[in-house]
Amino acid sequence: MAFLENFNDALGAVIWGPLMMLLMVGTGIYLTVRCGFFQLTKIPVIWKSTVGSLFQKKGEKHEQRMTPFQAVSTALAGTMGIGNISGVAAAIVIGGPGSIFWMWVSAFFGMATKYAEVVLAIRFRQCDKSGGYHGGAMYYIERGVGSRWLAVLFAVLCTVASFGIGNMVQANAVAQAAHNSYGVSTIIAGLLLAFICGLVIIGGVKRIGRIAEIVVPFMTVLYFAGAVVVLIVNRERFFDAFGLIFRYAFSFSSVGGGISGYVILLAMRYGLSRGVFSNEAGLGSAPIAHACADCRSGVEQGFWSVFEVFLDTILMCTITALVILTSDCWCGGLTGTELTSAAFGEVLGSWGSGFITLAVILFGFCSIIGWCCYGEKCVEYLSKKRRSVKLYRIVFVVMIVVGACIRMELVWNLSDTFNGLMAIPNLLAVLLLSRYVVGETHTYFHRN
């Protein structure tokens, strides 16, 4: 076990080192420039095609396909996990308040990367006999790049990752939160969570989409409303919090030159990496859900992925950071969920802990069902036999209980490594196929 931990630490340091950050952010910068900075210049069009479309008259729904909103809700379910609560706190403690600025940077360019992934997922997806869609990074790697073995490698890595960061890590956080707040044993919490998730998962991707489009907006509004209450009470510190973010992101005045440079690099590293983990831009997971959408255009479905990154990182992660930085807790030695809970508790009192516990449960539940969708589609790609998918669902539900009860440090670290490995073939494919993204984008905006 010690050898595995040491090997994973060494491998993880390479995978999530400067070269990976350069590849991820560099891909986003390249696509942003090639697509004309559309995240900024086409905001009205993006808004009209996403949130604005929810108020338009809907056509007939296909029984085997998700609506565009169900697809983005499923992707958000997999994306908006405990990282929005604990990951932001950890970034502030380790990388300083300046890490939030670099999280914004990763989100801005990540919008272009995730947009490209979704455009490619729609372009290279397949339709089965029943009319259902199947797509994602493994499909555009095989059909676009022409590399079957690289597509299989991605699908295997994504399947393994679905049991780690998408399952056991989330289940453990939910079980620990329920135990600390309500005294529920972790095994009971794990069994209850597995039962509820199993009821959703057994219905397949379509049911996951229907549940996600209800739960994701509810938990988003609930968490946002609670954070706004805290920020209203702490409104005198609101602009000071923004000042901390920018000062720690760039300032060289507080400490000596070499140390100061190190501090800024640390903020960049944890801000960029937490941003990537928060919105999953570049990992290739979210396009699996988006490919199931019954949409008119890959570009329009790609707009939903831009909105997805904005909601997850720019809005939800930022509001968590502001709650922490307007409190007196962020320099007190706490980290992770405990820090976020304490920051809410300063205003909400004993209700703060309960509020964060509820948020962890909802965010964890959504991540689990979202990642089950990803893993199921990867298994479906690897094996055309229906029983393989059924077996995957059974194992996935069992691993929820396992994750609720075991020590998670190694699982968390292994999950980070597999996520990084997933990103490599996906980003290479996105760069190699970027001409399709640029071409479809320019064509769409020329016609509209």
The per-residue pLDDT for range 87-142, each reduced to its tens digit, is: 788 778 877 888 888 888 888 999 999 999 999 999 999 887 777 788 899 999 99
- Round to whole Å and give the CA distance between 192 and 176: 13
**Taking residues 298-327, what's their average pLDDT?**
90
DSSP single-letter state for residue 254: S
Q: For residue 54, how far is the Cα from the chain centroid? A: 23
- Round to whole Å and give the CA distance between 137 and 126: 12
pLDDT (0 to 100) of residue 111? 93
Average pLDDT in the chain:
83
**Taking residues 279-305, what's their average pLDDT?**
86
**Taking residues 190-207, what's their average pLDDT?**
87
pLDDT (0 to 100) of residue 231? 94
Answer yes or no: is 108 within a domain.
yes
Contacts 24+ apart (CB under 8 A), 94-97: 94/266, 94/270, 94/335, 95/266, 95/267, 95/268, 95/269, 95/270, 95/271, 95/274, 96/248, 96/263, 96/266, 96/267, 97/241, 97/244, 97/245, 97/247, 97/248, 97/249, 97/267, 97/321, 97/325, 97/330
Is the pLDDT confidence value at 446 over 70? yes
Is the pLDDT confidence value at 29 over 60? yes
Q: What is the CATH number of the domain that holds 245?
A: 1.20.1740.10
Over residues 227-279, the pLDDT tens digits come to 999 999 999 999 999 988 888 877 644 333 344 444 455 555 655 666 666 67
pLDDT (0 to 100) of residue 259? 42
Instruction: Supply the pTM of this predicted model.
Output: 0.89
Smallest CA-to-CA distance from 99 within 222, 273, 256, 343 is with: 273
Over residues 328-347, the pLDDT tens digits come to 888 777 777 888 888 998 88
Smallest CA-to-CA distance from 200 within 81, 375, 365, 385 is with: 365
Phi/psi of residue 126, nearest 5 degrees:
-120, 155
Answer yes or no: is 280 within a domain.
yes
For 96, the domain range is 19-53+67-441
Answer yes or no: is 180 within a domain.
yes
Answer yes or no: is 224 within a domain.
yes
Answer yes or no: is 323 within a domain.
yes
Answer yes or no: is 12 within a domain.
no
List the structure tokens of 243: 């000042």
3-state secondary structure of 285: coil
> Is the CB of residue 109 less than 8 Å from the CB of residue 338?
no
Tell me, letter by letter, the H, E, C secondary structure of 161-210: HHHHHHHHHHHHHHHHHHHHHHCCCHHHHHHHHHHHHHHHHCCHHHHHHH
| Total structural domains within the chain | 1
pLDDT (0 to 100) of residue 115? 95
Answer yes or no: is 11 within a domain.
no
Smallest CA-to-CA distance from 282 within 317, 309, 260 is with: 309
pLDDT (0 to 100) of residue 103? 84
Answer yes or no: is 60 within a domain.
no
In DSSP terms, 66 is beta-bridged to: 293
User: What percent of the chain is modeled with pLDDT above 70?
Assistant: 85
Over residues 387-407, the pLDDT tens digits come to 889 999 999 999 999 888 877
Smallest CA-to-CA distance from 304 within 291, 317, 316 is with: 291
